[in-house]
A = this chain, B = another copy of it.
Amino acid sequence: MKCSKVYTHHLAVEPFQVDYSGHIFPGVLGNHMLGAAGIHAEQRGFGIARLNNEGADGYTWVLSRLTVEMESEWPVSGDDVCISTWINSVQRFFTSRCFDIKNENGDVYGYARSVWAMINLRTRHPEDLMKVGNGSLPEYVDTDRPCPCSLGSRIRIAATMPVNSVVMSFSDLDINRHVNSFKYIDHILDLFTPDFHDSHALSHLDVAFVSEAFYGDRLDFYLDTIDEGLVFNVEARRAETVVCRAHLVFKSR
């Protein structure tokens, strides 16, 4: 083990990374979290570039679940944000990666927990995580660093009519040539008005990434209101195929 178990990424929030309400877009913060995860993995010998060249077919990481739990408001323009990430557990087919999001004084904005699988690039099926980086993944597990943030239970949607439909375009895609994980979250947050966002902060977000979406796919968004306009479930479908499900909790600002 050559590196520490935790990697910390710094982000100085800029005026054009914030939304109508003045807080960082969750998608902007989220892509910096994915970037931090990528650097953490690369520095420790299990980044995507290396995985792509391992085995007969190559492997890659796939994000399966994500939960974000905000303890305070989202960062605003001018804030210095420290995103720390580490591996919390490794099982045969899944690994859990945690994040804490703090300011430069160590005050907590929030936490996140994510679940990843490593898939074979040809078969698209999960592979044994003990193959990764000559079996080094467990060496980096840190169970001591606190991450008070739990994955939610299965999200079920009752709605039968979509509230919005969006065709995936060039700006929805990332370098992996599918729809970027946080673009789904952008489209889900677009189901709510600017005035709603202005008066409500997203305090809890739980997402299950079920299948990939690609260029030209039309995603239909189904929305259930669970509790007094503060708790919602959303499902995005491509025709009859579920692409992702989300559970959102807002707090009044």
A: which residues have CB within 8 A of B? 14-20, 22, 25, 27, 31-32, 34-35, 38, 77, 169-171, 173-175, 177, 180, 182, 186-187, 189-190, 192-194, 197, 215
Contacts and interface: CB of A to CB of B under 8 A. Distances in A.
A180 to B, nearest CB: 7
A188 to B, nearest CB: 10
A16 to B, nearest CB: 4
Contacts of A14: 31-32, 35
Contacts of A22: 175
Contacts of A16: 31-32, 34-35, 174-175, 180, 182
A253 to B, nearest CB: 15
Q: Tell which of A25, A32, A190 has the most Cβ of chain B within 10 Å.
A: A190
B34 A170 contact: no
Nearest to A182: B16
B175 A189 contact: no
B171 A189 contact: yes
B177 A194 contact: yes
A187 B169 CA distance: 9
A35 B15 contact: yes
Nearest to A34: B16
A34 B16 CA distance: 7
Contacts of A18: 174-175
Given A20-B170, A170-B193, A180-B16, A175 B31 contact: no
A27 B186 CA distance: 16
6 contacts: A14-B31, A16-B182, A18-B174, A20-B170, A20-B177, A194-B215
A210 to B, nearest CB: 20
A182 B171 CA distance: 12
3 smallest beta-carbon distances between A and B, as pairs:
A16-B31, A169-B190, A14-B35
Q: Tell which of A186, A190, A192, A194 has the most Cβ of chain B within 10 Å.
A: A194
A173 B19 contact: yes
Nearest to A183: B171
A224 to B, nearest CB: 19
A175 B197 CA distance: 12
Contact of A215 (B169, B174, B177, B193): B193
Contacts of A189: 170-171
A25 B77 CA distance: 21
Contact of A175 (B15, B177, B193): B15
